[in-house]
Amino acid sequence: MCGILSIFDHPDAVALMLRGMSYLQHRGPNGAGISAFYNGVHDCIKGPGLVDEVLPPDVVTKRLKGRKALCHTRYATTTDVNSMQPLFAEIEQAQVALAHNGNIPFAESIREKMKADHHWFLTNLDTELILHLICESKAVSLVGKIKDGLKSLKGAYSLVLLSDQEMIGLRDPKGFRPLIIGVLDGAYLFASETCALDTIGATFVRNVEPGEIVRITSAGIESHHFDSIENCARCIFEPVYFTRPDSIQTDNAERGARSFSTLRFELGKRLADQQRANFKLDIITGIPDSGTPAGEGFAFGMGMPHRNAIIRNHASGRTFLATNKALREEKVRVKFNVVKDLVRGKRWGLVDDSLVRGTTSKTTVAQFWEAKPAEIHLFIPCPRVISTCHHGINLSTMGELLAVGRSIEEMRQFLNVTSLTFLPLADLHEIVGGNGHCDGCFSQHYPEEVPTAA
């Protein structure tokens, strides 16, 4: 997962990008970068860490100038600055900055083949491989090279290329990852989600469609398309977990401008509708912040109050060394605190957005038990994650997935909850709406061939 935001030709380009990026940090908390063109010269600051750490506003706005800027937040554990984004590339046509959200399933084998063919790579990124394919094309224009070079590439790639003359945003033909178009003071933007537009006062224009290549120049906006026509395979895990609740689900026109908060509320409510008869609960809470909308929907569906029983701390999450054993182990919880009097003696429904490895949930549940509830019933408003993702979501290896090799009862025991309940896949599809989603992580049915899971 990654976040992208770019703007073409605005006097506040760099300051706007910095602001907007902070709303895409949930898509990439491990690295951040920003590129800008000023008087035709590209400059870039990037590195591992949170946006605020890597890109202090005073430092960035002092150094980076110009009316065109592109930024990226990165979800990855590597820290080598050589593999941070945006990439810079000097190609035949221009100097460009690139940012990529997605994943190429067979990248490793393509890369090995290219290396055997005496090519080389300066980064670990799929982005560079994509650049390879674009540049090898004999087409003349950048759009032409993209259409030509990527025509047979499988995988997920929402991509933005920025030069001093043009800004190009594109989605792969299956449309795995989102990309939208916005406008502010006449300047166009590309963004991963609408919340990044909101925070800088920009207006949502429309989706970049799967397979579409949108080109922005000083002359305006052009739309091009990959020649291949493919079935949509938008990631169904984005609405369930990754997108911010205040972003709008732009991919499903039939649902209108529905926010993901509303979508998740409906998921929670549907689960309540199915399970109402089966549970006697006293009180319900969503695990903050991502589980709150589904929690509120579940509470509404159960006809019961929702209470924020888990208080999130806004100050430091930094860790430190301690000689105190108890401190190091169970009691070390800086991030959350449980409202004890609310919890004691009650039959609780806890709602989380999803269940992947289960380690965070296990810790939260343990902390919750300390406040001595009578029961803890855990509700997950989506199916079990039974397979890894090959298109851009970091769902760990098969071995780390809690649902792999475990029955629901075994999962319940691992998490130490009174009961554990999921929403069926059909309900998830119905509520997310529209056709053409990839639900490989829930179903193990992928829309295109993927490598054998490790």
Give catalytic residues, as residue numbers.
Answer: 2
Q: Is the dihedral of CA 126, 106, 147, 195 positive or negative?
A: negative
DSSP-derived secondary structure letter, 208: P
Question: Is 152 one of the binding residues for its own copies (CB under 8 A)?
Answer: no
Q: Is residue 105 helix, strand or coil?
A: coil
Smaller CB distance to its own copies: residue 179 or 338? 338
- Closest distance between its own copies and the C-beta of residue 16, in Å? 7
Total residues binding its own copies (CB under 8 A): 105
From the list 307-315, 352-360, 384-392, 403-411, the region that binds its own copies by CB under 8 A is 307-315
Among 3, 72, 103, 128, binds its own copies (CB under 8 A): 128
Interactions with its own copies, residue window 231-250 (CB under 8 A): 244-246, 248
C-beta of residue 102 within 8 angstroms of C-beta of residue 155: yes
C-beta of residue 138 within 8 angstroms of C-beta of residue 148: yes
C-beta of residue 437 within 8 angstroms of C-beta of residue 232: yes
What is d(CA 32, CA 219) in angstroms, rounded to the nearest whole number?
A: 30
Interactions with its own copies, residue window 174-193 (CB under 8 A): 185
From the list 21-29, 220-228, 354-362, 381-389, the region that binds its own copies by CB under 8 A is 21-29
From the list 224-232, 337-345, 358-366, 438-446, the region that binds its own copies by CB under 8 A is 337-345
Question: Is 76 one of the binding residues for its own copies (CB under 8 A)?
Answer: no
Question: Is 58 one of the binding residues for its own copies (CB under 8 A)?
Answer: yes
Closest to 433 measured CA to CA, from 182, 240, 229, 211: 240
What is d(CA 218, CA 187) in angstroms, rounded to the nearest whole number?
A: 9
Q: What is the CA radius of gyration of the chain?
A: 23
Interactions with its own copies, residue window 97-126 (CB under 8 A): 111, 115-116, 118-124
Among 253, 327, 398, 453, binds its own copies (CB under 8 A): 327
Question: Is 19 one of the binding residues for its own copies (CB under 8 A)?
Answer: yes
- Closest distance between its own copies and the C-beta of residue 21, in Å? 8
Smaller CB distance to its own copies: residue 218 or 316? 316
What is d(CA 9, CA 367) in angstroms, rounded to the nearest whole number?
A: 50
| Bridge partners (DSSP) listed for residue 5 | 71, 191
What is d(CA 20, CA 25) in angstroms, rounded to the nearest whole number?
A: 9
Smaller CB distance to its own copies: residue 98 or 411? 98
